[in-house]
Homo-oligomer: A and B are copies of this chain.
Amino acid sequence: MHYKVTLAYDGTKFAGYQVQPAQRTVQGVLEHALGKMAKQPVHVDGSGRTDSGVHALGQVISFDYPGNIPPKNMLMGLNSMMPLDIIIKDVAYTDADFHARYSAKGKRYMYKVALGKYTDPFKRLYTGHYPYHIEPSRIQTALKDLIGTHDFTSFAASGGVIVDKVRTIYDATCTVDETNNELIMEFYGNGFLYNMVRILVATALEIGNGRRDVHDFKRLFEVKDRQQARGTAPASGLYLKEVYYDDATTPGGAAADSSQNK
């Protein structure tokens, strides 16, 4: 059977999502567990890579499993084999042509920035940190410039192999969490280049501080020059929050799961 699985993980102790030789990776842990369950190798496709230290609240994977385990049992079985820094949130049957990466229509990332002079010891692995003057309203104004279809060449890590750097951002917001003294930025788009969210956040913080013009994103779209965006916010604040597909393959959705459960 073909499965779609939604999971969350604390990225701190992983060398990222993607399998790498002699490294602890999320994909590696998942394939090891499924391989033990199936008694033969199982290859897992993820919606995309997350870097070392980057977290996920709703990463999605798909795989072909040699056998038919009801989704509820697959959920319990996988969770019993997961280390404490991964949790399986949802398991559903899906069509054989569903692919976690190629079928994805959009993704939502969240970035948490701790404010205040010193790094809170309990937040160091789960937020970025900005100890300087910040005006959230400037960031809120600036992020509106991201919405739409743009060439993100200025916001792509050098060394990437992807030639087409045009992406569409559907929404980009910044909210203030007064209780925790944090800024929460969210970016929802059809796709993101390598390090793109972390570069956008670093630039947004400089706009919020006043070191950049409030509409500097517009200028950076035009100059197409990574050197002018410069900063990259740390991995610890970044969360892959949700991956969007067509309705029929929504995790736990009636169409995908129960129709095949009959």
The residues of A with any CB-CB pair to B shorter than 8 Å are 8-10, 55, 79, 84-87, 118-122, 124, 126
Please determine whether A9 and B84 come into contact, CB atoms closer than 8 angstroms.
Answer: no
The CA of A119 and the CA of B80, in the complex, are separated in Å by 11
The CA of A121 and the CA of B87, in the complex, are separated in Å by 6
Other-chain residue from B9, B121, B122, B124 in contact with A121 (beta carbon distance below 8 A): B9
Please determine whether A124 and B85 come into contact, CB atoms closer than 8 angstroms.
Answer: yes
Q: How far is the CB of A121 from chain B (nearest CB, A)?
A: 4
Please determine whether B118 and A10 come into contact, CB atoms closer than 8 angstroms.
Answer: no
The CA of A9 and the CA of B124, in the complex, are separated in Å by 11
Q: How far is the CB of A205 from chain B (nearest CB, A)?
A: 19
The CA of A120 and the CA of B118, in the complex, are separated in Å by 26
The CA of A253 and the CA of B4, in the complex, are separated in Å by 58
Please determine whether B10 and A87 come into contact, CB atoms closer than 8 angstroms.
Answer: no
Q: Which residue of B lies closest to A9 (CB)?
A: B121
Task: Provide the residues of chain B in CB contact with A124, threshold 8 Å.
Answer: 10, 84-85
Q: How far is the CB of A222 from chain B (nearest CB, A)?
A: 38
The CA of A86 and the CA of B120, in the complex, are separated in Å by 8
The CA of A86 and the CA of B118, in the complex, are separated in Å by 10
The CA of A118 and the CA of B120, in the complex, are separated in Å by 26
Task: Provide the residues of chain B in CB contact with A121, threshold 8 Å.
Answer: 8-10, 84-87
Q: Which residue of B lies closest to A75 (CB)?
A: B118
Other-chain residue from B55, B86, B118, B120 in contact with A79 (beta carbon distance below 8 A): B118
The CA of A126 and the CA of B121, in the complex, are separated in Å by 12
Q: Which residue of B lies closest to A126 (CB)?
A: B122
The CA of A86 and the CA of B121, in the complex, are separated in Å by 6
Please determine whether B79 and A122 come into contact, CB atoms closer than 8 angstroms.
Answer: no
Among A118, A120, A124, A126, which residue has the most Cβ atoms of chain B within 10 A? A118
Task: Provide the residues of chain B in CB contact with A10, threshold 8 Å.
Answer: 121-122, 124
Task: Provide the residues of chain B in CB contact with A118, threshold 8 Å.
Answer: 79, 87
